């Protein structure tokens, strides 16, 4: 979930080409591991707490936690790795040449590792009867889940593209806008699909708990939705002005 810093740090070519910066790849990967770990640990942790305590947190509470987690992590790590924490975001950014294709595998591995690690830690903390499956499962039909995941990921990536790639947007509030979007879609789609929007978020818990029902939906649909969202905004943002990304917009940095 890119910046222009100064002339020594970042080079941005016009027409949506890849942003280049001075942050070493290893630092970016560590940031993606840490960010994804914290996102899954906090987000899935509140789900377990809610289930184990008679829904004391409530659905709005869970949605707020997910939205805040995305927001604070984006502000904290966006300037290092781009704060993707999501293979669908990484792939979508690469499709519009805002992220180097050769770094896709390492980013996805880092994100999946962070998700698995967080799921393992949660499983250890909440053991025995408290050991809940923190992954995502369709509440209805597979078709319903596929369509919902596609649409909510489309919205998420559309917002990310709008606030993080367009210099006409109020980029200082980019992370707030993205976090708010996550909050909104969790309120709507949480009871239907778990509101994943993130293959790593679903696959990590699935691997740890050996629960793969409907997992293909959460691997395919978010990627397609993210691609559709970023390409739709890329189409409508067309301008004759050179593309620039303000310092505060960190969702594309990491090239």
| Domains in the chain, CATH or no CATH each | 10-236 (1.20.1080.10)
Residue with the bigger pLDDT between 6 and 84: it is 84
pLDDT computed for residue 129 by the predictor:
65
Virtual torsion, Cα 232, 246, 156, 150, nearest 10 deg: 40
Average pLDDT over residues 69-73: 96
Over 50: is that where the pLDDT of 53 sits?
yes
Q: What is the mean pLDDT of the chain?
A: 85
Dist CA 56 CA 105 (whole Å) = 39
Per-residue pLDDT of 191-247, as tens digits, reads 999 999 999 999 999 999 999 999 999 999 999 999 999 999 999 876 555 444 444
- What pLDDT digit, counting tens, does each position of 129-144 carry? 667 888 999 999 999 9
- Banded pLDDT at 172 (limits 50, 70, 90): confident
The alpha-helical segments, DSSP class H, found in the chain are 25-52, 58-81, 87-95, 104-125, 142-165, 174-193, 199-209, 215-236
């Amino acid at each position: 979930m890119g910046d222009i810093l100064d002339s020594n740090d970042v080079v941005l070519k016009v027409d949506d080409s890849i942003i280049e910066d001075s942050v070493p790849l290893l630092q970016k990967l560590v940031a993606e591991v840490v960010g994804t770990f914290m996102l899954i640990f906090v987000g899935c942790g509140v789900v377990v707490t809610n289930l184990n305590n008679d829904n004391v947190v409530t659905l709005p509470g869970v949605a707020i936690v997910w939205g805040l987690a995305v927001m604070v992590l984006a502000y904290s790590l966006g300037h290092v790795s781009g704060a993707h924490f999501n293979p669908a975001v990484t792939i979508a950014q690469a499709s519009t040449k805002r992220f180097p294709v050769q770094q896709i595998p390492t980013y996805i591995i880092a994100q999946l590792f962070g998700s698995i690690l967080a799921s393992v830690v949660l499983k250890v903390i909440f053991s025995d009867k408290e050991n809940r499956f923190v992954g995502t499962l369709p509440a209805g039909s597979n078709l319903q889940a596929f369509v919902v995941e596609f649409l909510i990921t489309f919205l998420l990536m559309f917002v990310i593209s709008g606030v993080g790639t367009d210099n006409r947007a109020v980029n200082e509030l980019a992370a707030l806008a993205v976090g708010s979007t996550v909050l909104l879609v969790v309120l709507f789609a949480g009871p239907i699909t778990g509101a994943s929007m993130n293959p790593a978020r679903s696959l990590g818990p699935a691997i740890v708990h050996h629960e793969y029902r409907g997992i293909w939906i959460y691997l395919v649909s978010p990627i397609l939705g993210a691609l559709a969202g970023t390409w739709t905004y890329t189409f409508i943002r067309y301008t004759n002005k050179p593309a620039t990304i303000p310092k505060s917009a960190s969702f594309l940095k990491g090239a």
